[in-house]
């Protein structure tokens, strides 16, 4: 059986409609799957909802500036490779962009061939090592072994169910919307996946997690999140309760 090719997925954030259109067409011709947005708020929303192999980010973009999108993306722990596009070409500007978390810096105007070469260079870098085990409450997911354990005992899950749990664990405590689940778990079949299909998989997962201290919550109108057991309140000891300055 032939191996299915999964294209490299890019996010392009560029407010100039002409340049954005040129980049979309050119990148797709070169085998990339492209999501394109025109402002920083949508760029940040996409980065928090979907997984990308690389990002092409304009510095001067409406809404949240591109450099602040980069800072927030790094603050949240994402190591997705980012190329910053900008007309700012001083050394201080380049240093600011790189210090904010960009991996590369391309000054406008630029040649498409150079952007493609820089994207290929980023793809050759060693992959970022993900945590070997994702844990929450009594659940532990080992992505390398495709195994979910509860209290050390493996659970029997389908590949789709494992994908859903992994995405929820990686994004917790954030809510994951249905579209993100469809794109990440069903990939190139995402457009054919309806809400009912996702709901059925979630219901089966909840059944298999029955009795666990970790549960999947529905956030109406948005999607799902996974939550662990409530934190145990700290009880003051006798010495702590009676000590004071008085």
Q: What is the pLDDT of residues 199-229, one digit of tens each?
A: 999 999 999 999 899 999 999 888 999 999 8
Domain extent listing, the chain: 9-124, 134-227
Q: In this predicted model, what pLDDT tens digit does every residue of 143-198 receive, in sequence order?
A: 767 889 999 899 999 988 988 998 898 888 888 888 888 887 887 777 788 888 99
What's the pLDDT at 74? 86
* CA atoms of 31 and 97, how far apart (whole Å): 28
> Looking at residues 98-121, what average pLDDT do you find?
90
* CA–CA distance, 225 with 52 (Å, rounded to integer): 20
Helix, coil or strand: residue 139: strand
In this prediction, residue 242 carries a pLDDT of 41
Question: Cis peptide before 109, with omega less than 30 degrees from 0?
Answer: yes
* 5 has a pLDDT exceeding 70: no
Inform me whether the pLDDT recorded for 111 exceeds 60: yes
Give mean pLDDT, residues 122-142: 77
For the cut 70, the answer to whether the pLDDT of residue 238 exceeds it is no
What is the Cα 205 distance to its own chain's centre?
22
**So what's the pLDDT on residue 128?**
54
CB contact at 8 A, 100 and 67: yes
CATH of 9-124, one of 3.30.1780.10, 3.50.40.10, 3.30.1220.10, 3.40.50.2300: 3.40.50.2300
Distance of alpha carbon 168 from alpha carbon 139, whole angstroms = 12
- For residue 69, pLDDT over 90 is answered with yes
Q: How far apart are CA 215 and CA 89, in angstroms?
A: 50
Average confidence score pLDDT of the chain: 84
Give SS3 for 153: strand
- Classify domain 134-227 by CATH number: 1.10.10.10
State residue 130's pLDDT score.
Answer: 52
Q: In what order do the strands lie in the sheet with 139-142?
A: 134-136, 139-142, 147-150, 153-155
């Amino acid at each position: 059986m032939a191996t299915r090719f999964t294209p490299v997925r890019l996010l392009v954030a560029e407010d100039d409609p002409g340049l954005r259109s040129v980049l979309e067409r050119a990148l797709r011709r070169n085998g990339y799957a492209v999501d394109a947005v025109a402002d920083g708020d949508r760029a940040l929303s996409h980065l928090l909802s979907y997984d990308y192999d690389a990002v092409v980010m304009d510095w001067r973009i409406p809404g949240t500036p591109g450099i602040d999108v980069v800072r927030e993306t790094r603050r949240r722990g994402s190591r997705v490779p980012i190329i910053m596009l900008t007309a700012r070409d001083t050394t201080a500007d380049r240093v600011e962009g790189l210090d904010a978390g960009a991996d590369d810096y391309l000054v406008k105007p630029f040649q498409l061939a150079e952007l493609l070469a820089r994207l290929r260079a980023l793809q050759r870098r060693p992959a970022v090592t993900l945590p070997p085990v994702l844990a929450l409450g009594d659940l532990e997911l080992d992505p390398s072994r495709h195994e979910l354990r509860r209290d050390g005992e493996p659970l029997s899950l389908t590949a789709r169910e494992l994908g859903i749990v992994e995405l929820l664990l990686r994004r917790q405590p954030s809510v994951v919307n249905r579209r993100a689940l469809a794109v990440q778990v069903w990939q190139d079949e995402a457009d054919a996946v309806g809400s009912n299909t996702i709901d059925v998989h979630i219901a089966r997962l909840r059944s298999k997690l029955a009795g666990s201290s970790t549960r999947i919550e529905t956030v109406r109108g948005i999607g799902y999140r996974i939550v662990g057991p409530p934190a145990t309140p700290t009880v003051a000891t006798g010495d702590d309760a009676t000590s004071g300055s008085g």
